[in-house]
Amino acid sequence: MTQPLGTVMLDIEGTQLGDEERRLLERPEVGGVILFARNTRDAEQVRRLTREIRELRPDMLLAIDQEGGRVQRLREGVTRLPSMAALAAGYADAPDEVRLRVHEAGWLLGMEMAACGFDVTFAPVLDVDDQRSPAIGDRSFSADPAVVAALGDAFIEGLHEAGMVAVGKHFPGHGGVTLDSHHALPEDSRPLSVLREHDLVPFKALSGKLDAMMPAHVVYTAFDTRPAGFSPSWLGMLREEMAFKGVVFSDDLSMAGAHVAGTPAARAEAAWSAGCDMVLVCNDRAAALEIVDAAAGRTSKRLGKLRYGRARPQLETLPALARWRRAHARLEALSETPAS
């Protein structure tokens, strides 16, 4: 039976745990840790750090933002992944070849992150790139929703083949706004009918394959006055209309786009009430402590399903796999080539 986990995921300061962090991570409300670039010198050091956390809390979910391109927190000792736009280059002329390339990228990413000790890498990005959003851009596979859905599917299959879960973001789509929700609260005024025919297409198509989703800190004014991550209407659509049965993560509650909901505890309460299973709070320890206190008594059984369930691959033996060597060489070469 899946054991329930606490509903807060937070960050740590450095490349190993401090005494105060150890005490914080022992609190049952904390169900996960996310690592950032400051926590990662190289793959071997990250593996030691994830082991250190697991010795303290074997049940803890360990996560990282490792998409490829500009969002790649761990860079030393693992493959330099190209952006999703670079992976998708040439799809119109050779769809089968590009789909295989994307599948292998998902597989390689899953194998490397599993070897480093992670359960979750927050990928793939399923936003449609309308060339408006500074937060998305080449993080997206395409400006065509059908291409995003097709390549997102291939990436998910690759992750799953490696035993890694897939997290789709940023539901229902961050590509149609000009502001970055890290720094402001974007508003998207397009009608719901347009969102259904465009931004929502990949999320709906892949809802049955995704293990988790992350909603955007964006207000879609034609549907709700609240950002999607605080909206029971949006997350209700996800659960009911799209029949999504996986985990819903909030995006980072320290981002400017989340501040509309009030204090850190109020933001967390808004996310939980809307239907989020786990909230992320990063780069703000005072806010994290407030949210951990607010999470007393909250648990989720869904979260335990995200733990990596296989014998983990070993970093030092991955290069012995001919498949890894081929994928590694192709992806490293592609990461040095601008997307066309």
Q: Known catalytic residues?
A: 182, 251
User: What is the rounded distance in angstroms from the CA atom of residue 340 to the CA atom of residue 332?
Assistant: 17
The residues pairing with 34 across neighbouring beta strands, listed in sequence order, are 63
Residue 273: Cβ within 10 Å count: 11
Distances 138 to 33, 174, 190, 254 between C-alpha atoms, Å: 27, 13, 22, 24
Class of residue 262 by CB neighbours under 10 A (exposed 0-12, middle 13-18, buried 19+) = exposed
247 with 302: CB under 8 angstroms? Answer: yes
User: What is the rounded distance in angstroms from the CA atom of residue 240 to the CA atom of residue 158?
Assistant: 27
**Gap between the terminal Cα atoms of the chain:** 48
| Encoded tokens for 336 | 């040095």
Of all helices (H) and strands (E), which one includes residue 87?
helix 84-88
User: What is the rounded distance in angstroms from the CA atom of residue 280 to the CA atom of residue 261?
Assistant: 15
Radius of gyration from C-alpha coordinates of the chain: 19
156 with 106: CB under 8 angstroms? Answer: yes
Strands 299-300 and 5-6: antiparallel
